[in-house]
Amino acid sequence: KSLAECSKAQWTQAYSPGACHMEGATAVVKCLGKSGSQCGTRMESSSYVGIGLHTMTIKAAPGPGVVSTFYMSTNGGVYEKSCTQPWVELDFEIMGNQAGTETKIWTNMLRGTCQENWAWITVPFDVSADYHTYAFNITADSISWMVDGVAYRTVATDSFPDVRTAAQSGSFREFISVWGKSSAEAGEGIPAFRNALGVLDSNTNVFPVIAYFQRPSP
């Protein structure tokens, strides 16, 4: 396996070549086993974007401990854990552990030095059962988190100059990923996030568990 298979058009796969393959235009991302090192990969878009509608169609990976993500970042797609260098990030964190007839999805706007602006949204379907389209609608003065054309959360950016600057200057890149954690591994994010995610040890699905991303054409 090489990283080239899922590195198509404007997308580049960052690591774990065996965790992704293409089926037509769909990137198929696998959580191969019940540890973080076996679970998923990340892909980044090469183009910088700002104001506009940015979409990704996703069928999320099921079960505890695994998350399928679509996010925008000014920081190369990584969480700056020292919290000394400011960046802006907009997130959909789609946790398999929350999937059901209704699904809670973690949304976030990270800004400054690790300043969280998170909120749950609830969608009326199982995110792991079928494809749904997730979108960030970025305007000059707001960010909306949209699913299947419905705005579930909107944040005015008047009081967040760094977010407005990132939007207006086109400083974001788009990222998609699948990742997971076992009980033996240090968790990611704040306690509310870790508790909602659960751990791979508890995931009773047959592995690999899989997420599907229909990446937009450039």
Tens digit of each residue's pLDDT, the chain (218 residues): 677 889 987 999 999 999 999 999 999 999 999 999 999 999 999 999 999 999 999 999 999 999 999 999 998 777 777 788 898 999 999 999 999 999 999 999 999 888 899 999 999 999 999 999 999 999 999 999 999 999 999 999 999 999 999 999 999 999 999 999 999 998 888 899 999 999 999 999 999 999 999 998 76
The whole-number pLDDT of residue 72 equals 97
Cis bond upstream, residue 124 (ω within 30): no
For position 98, what pLDDT does the model report?
A: 98
Q: State both tokens at 132.
A: 């749904």
Alpha carbons 57 and 107: distance in angstroms, whole number: 16
What percent of the chain is helix, strand and coil (3-state, nearest 5)?
Answer: 15, 40, 45
| Sign of the four-CA dihedral 95, 194, 73, 77 | negative
- Cα separation, 167 vs 157, in Å, equals 10
- Asked whether the beta carbons of 163 and 110 are under 8 A apart, the reply is no
Strands 132-138 and 142-147: what pairing? antiparallel
CA distances from 100 to 94, 132, 148, 208, 210 (A): 12, 14, 17, 20, 16
| 3-class secondary-structure state, position 35 | coil
